[in-house]
């Protein structure tokens, strides 16, 4: 009945999140995403292109509200994908 009351779950999660050791803005990426950052970057860019094409289709049907939302989502995906590819480029230059 006298079990210790330490919270090892939070310590394990913190240790998992900090591996591999990263600095700066790279800490915003999840560890599994950081390990394969180039794949996630390319995937986001492809998704951004698909969203931009869907926005153009919405514009052709004069659905301006949906077109604006889809184009903004596409632009955010393209920006995030470009950011991840720059992280991948800078990480490979150091090794």
In a domain, 25, yes or no: no
pTM of the model: 0.72
How far apart are the C-alpha atoms of 66 and 92, rounded to whole Å?
Answer: 39
What count of other Cβ atoms lies within 10 Å of the Cβ of residue 17?
Answer: 11
Domain total of the chain: 1
In a domain, 20, yes or no: no
The whole-angstrom distance between residue 12's C-alpha and the CA centroid of its chain comes to 23
For residue 88, what pLDDT band results from cuts at 50, 70 and 90?
A: confident
Residues spanned by the domain of 49: 35-95
The whole-angstrom distance between residue 59's C-alpha and the CA centroid of its chain comes to 27
In a domain, 16, yes or no: no
Q: What confidence score (pLDDT) does residue 34 get?
A: 75
In a domain, 5, yes or no: no
Query: What digits encode the pLDDT tens for the residues 1-52?
Result: 555 655 555 566 666 666 666 666 677 777 778 778 899 999 999 999 999 9
Q: Give me the mean pLDDT over the 69-75 stretch.
A: 96
């Amino acid at each position: 009945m006298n079990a210790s009351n330490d919270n090892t779950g939070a310590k394990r999660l913190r240790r998992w999140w900090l591996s591999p050791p990263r600095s700066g803005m790279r800490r915003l990426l999840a560890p599994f995403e950081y390990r394969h950052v180039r794949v996630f970057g390319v995937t986001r860019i492809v998704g951004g292109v698909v969203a931009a094409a869907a926005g153009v289709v919405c514009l052709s049907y004069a659905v301006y509200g949906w077109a604006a939302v889809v184009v903004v989502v596409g632009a955010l995906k393209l920006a995030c994908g470009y950011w991840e590819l720059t992280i991948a480029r800078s990480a490979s230059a150091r090794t």
